[in-house]
Structure 1
Amino acid sequence: MANHYETLEVERHGRVATIWMNRPEVFNAFNEQLIADLGQACAELDGDVGVRVVVLAGRGKHFSAGADLNWMKRASAFGEAENLADARRFARMLRALSDMSKPTIARVQGAALGGGTGLAAACDMAVAASDAVFSTSEVKFGIIPSVISPYVLRAVGPRHALRFFQSAERVSAERALAIGLVGEVVAVEALDAAVAALADTLIAGAPQAQKAAKDLIAAVTGRPIDDAVSEETAQRIARQRATDEAKDGIAAFLEKRQPAWLL
């Protein structure tokens, strides 16, 4: 795909697309344009059948330092209606990232602060370099991590969120691993190799099944294990077994051949 974004670079290597936030001079802090570009890139890559995995990354030393100070200054002068419209644009972008039908990986190095933490949490999984540091720092500016909260809560749970949303303290990569914000921490020089290895593992899975797995998690999370959930899960696996993808995957295993999605 042609690169037509002001604030991003999109690279394709085989079936993996990497969205590079490309504002290293401000540590990939986001403003209105970066938000718009990220939302558009997510939509375009989600519709590209040749892309199996999407990686979100930041150029330079840092993943994302959160909100651009000039953007925050402009927002502080907004009236209520304009403030709400601005917040809704940010919320739509995060939702577009979170709801992609294919696996997403955050590649995190250096600072991932405020909304940068939100971007990492909105991805399905995150691999962090050992120098990564996270923070939901909004209360230091008299605001709250409202729009990013569903994704951070999904990753770390309410107990950790109660602390970090209020303390705004910095969270090291190792601590982020312990609380579930990231799934893997590697040396800085090993970050690209670790992301590539995870992407290769994901490509081996069936794409329709991966989308169905994401939908399954969203459907059952937080619900009691009752008759309704048992019935829904039974119906979901029954529907999936009936797909051409599942039939080919099972046949490929039995026949010791590659399934169609790997050809």
Structure 2
Amino acid sequence: MSSILFEKKDNFARLILNRPPVNTMNIEMMKEMGDAIESLHNDDHIKVIIIGSACRIFSAGFDMADHAPQRVWQLLESFHKIFLTLADLAKPTIAAVNGPALGGGCELATFCDLVLASENAKFGQPEIKVGFFPPIATVVFPHLVGRKKAMELILTGETIEAKDALSLGLINKIVPMEKLDDAVHEMASKISVNSGPVLQMTKKAMLSSEGLNFEEALRKARDIYLNHLMALEDTNEGLRAFVEKRTPVWKDR
């Protein structure tokens, strides 16, 4: 039985974690997730990736049975492949967090470009309490919440409520549980009306600037703009539509 549900509909790909009771992620599940995401590389129809949960918890993190010394390298390799593939793919991602997202589950949710959460959601990196640290969070959290707050969250291992995650900038919005799916669909729809390759290039320009000084970051963005964006049919269509005062008709190329 698969540990994920994966479907494509309405320009969206939905990857739903489905390993009851709390979506602990083992190596097999992570490989399924990585393969599903990788399959979207040549699918120009898909503009947005939505990651959610079929359980009452978004994810409780790693399955510790696969964290044994002889298997942990496979665990990290499989887990990190998910993030590297998402970054390389550059399609916008939305996390629909219905409940607690802890450990690797918190890393997966907060790595997404947009995070919509229910009031029941909680976020935390408790690894430090059992003698580990979260590799993805140590890299990503300082960019999301600043170094000092990242240190606090990771070194204490404390779990925070959705409202605190919102105030820190870890998530974008809190919505009632019964409206979470609708809110995610609405957000994905607002994004997907735009050109797919333009969305991807915009995300790449933003990601490529991280860690660079202003001049280097601007040079990267300018290179993408002049040498890639301006070569798109959709960019030229957007210019024509603006001049002709009409809605662009995207060809996604």
Asked whether 1:58 is paired with 2:47, we answer no
Secondary structure at the counterpart of residue 145 of structure 2: helix
Deviations 1:190-224 (A, max 9, x none): 11111011101111222111111111112222322
Tell me, in whole angstroms, the C-alpha distance in 1 between the residues paired with 2:31 and 2:186.
30
Secondary structure at the counterpart of residue 8 of structure 2: strand
Deviations 1:87-119 (A, max 9, x none): 222211222233323111011011100000000
- Residue from 25, 32, 39 that aligns with 2:34: 39
- Residue from 117, 127, 148 that aligns with 1:128: 117
Asked whether 1:221 is paired with 2:210, we answer yes
Residue 237 of structure 1: aligned partner = 225
Tell me, in whole angstroms, the C-alpha distance in 2 between the residues paired with 1:100 and 1:230.
22
Q: Which runs of 4+ in 1 moved over 6 A?
A: none
Secondary structure at the counterpart of residue 223 of structure 1: coil
Give the CA RMSD over aligned residues.
Answer: 2.0
Name the CA shift for 1:12/1:229 in 2 (closer, same or farther; >3 Å).
closer
Contact preservation (8 Å) 1:204, 1:262 = no
Residue 20 of structure 2: aligned partner = 24
Contact preservation (8 Å) 1:129, 1:191 = yes
Please report the TM-score for the alignment, with normalisation by the length of structure 2.
0.91
Please report the TM-score for the alignment, with normalisation by the length of structure 1.
0.88
Deviations 1:115-160 (A, max 9, x none): 0000012211111111100100001111111244323333223221
5+ residue gaps, structure 1? none
Deviations 1:50-70 (A, max 9, x none): 211110011121111111233
- Residue from 185, 188, 192 that aligns with 2:174: 185
- Residue from 62, 66, 81 that aligns with 1:92: 81
Residue 247 of structure 2: aligned partner = 258
Contact preservation (8 Å) 1:87, 1:147 = no
Secondary structure at the counterpart of residue 135 of structure 2: coil
Aligned residues: 251
Tell me, in whole angstroms, the C-alpha distance in 2 between the residues paired with 1:170 and 1:229.
34
Contact preservation (8 Å) 1:30, 1:67 = yes
Residue 12 of structure 1: aligned partner = 8
Tell me, in whole angstroms, the C-alpha distance in 2 between the residues paired with 1:260 and 1:149.
42
Name the CA shift for 1:221/1:184 in 2 (closer, same or farther; >3 Å).
same
5+ residue gaps, structure 2? none
Equivalent residues in 2 for 1:73-92 (5 A)? 75=68, 78-79=69-70, 82-92=71-81
Secondary structure at the counterpart of residue 46 of structure 1: coil
Among the aligned pairs, what percent are the same residue?
28
